[in-house]
Amino acid sequence: MNKIETELLDCYILEPNKFGDDRGYFSPYFIQKNLDELGFVSVVQANRSKSSKGVVRGLHFQENPKCQAKIVEVIKGSAVDVVVDIRKDSATYGKHISVLLTEDNNRQLFVPRGFAHGFVSLEDDTIFQYLIDNDYAPELEGGILWNDKELGINWDEIFSEYGIEEPILSEKDINRKPLSECEVEFWRDK
């Protein structure tokens, strides 16, 4: 597996190895030693979502004691994945990256604990998969406003590039607060 550093501390793009021939390919995605290197001890939960073109999900996180690290990927279709470092003691606090994930580029993103996560689906029937290292706890679910101006996420450029006229969001995500109004604490490790 190729682990690519990003501009955010502890957040990596992952490119699993591919082995194939004219029949297709095989890719061993989750080898324990690779997970150990990331600090991702075990997969506690696996989730999939299916989204229409233009659906924006996020920016979500979970608070202590159930904060979560994630390995995310697109199984079908394509999405631009966005993560924001919201660990106040981090040198990259408040910064974000966006990564194109498609069913063909074989990329995944490791999202550590203490990051807000979201994505926009670039085509209908996009299937997004999350491997998560801690239980979901609805009472500890949090989020920040997806288009928080202070974060500077280039949503308009993404929408324009991929022909998205109007993003589709849940009521909950529309009404989130900006990062500057969020008070959350995260553990650095499990």
The CA R_g of the chain, rounded to the nearest whole Å, is 16
Q: Is the dihedral of CA 190, 48, 33, 86 positive or negative?
A: negative
Q: Which of 90, 74, 63 is nearest to 144 (CA)?
A: 63
The active-site residue out of 12, 25, 117, 130 is 130
Q: Has 130 been annotated as catalytic?
A: yes
CA distances from 50 to 11, 78, 99 (A): 24, 11, 18
Contact (Cβ atoms closer than 8 angstroms) between residue 115 and residue 187: no
Q: Has 29 been annotated as catalytic?
A: no
Q: How many CB atoms lie within 10 A of CB 153?
A: 20
| CA 90/CA 92 separation, integer angstroms | 5
Burial of 83 (0-12, 13-18, 19+ CB in 10 A): buried
Q: How many CB atoms lie within 10 A of CB 53?
A: 19
The active-site residue out of 12, 25, 29, 60 is 60
Q: Which residues are catalytic?
A: 60, 130
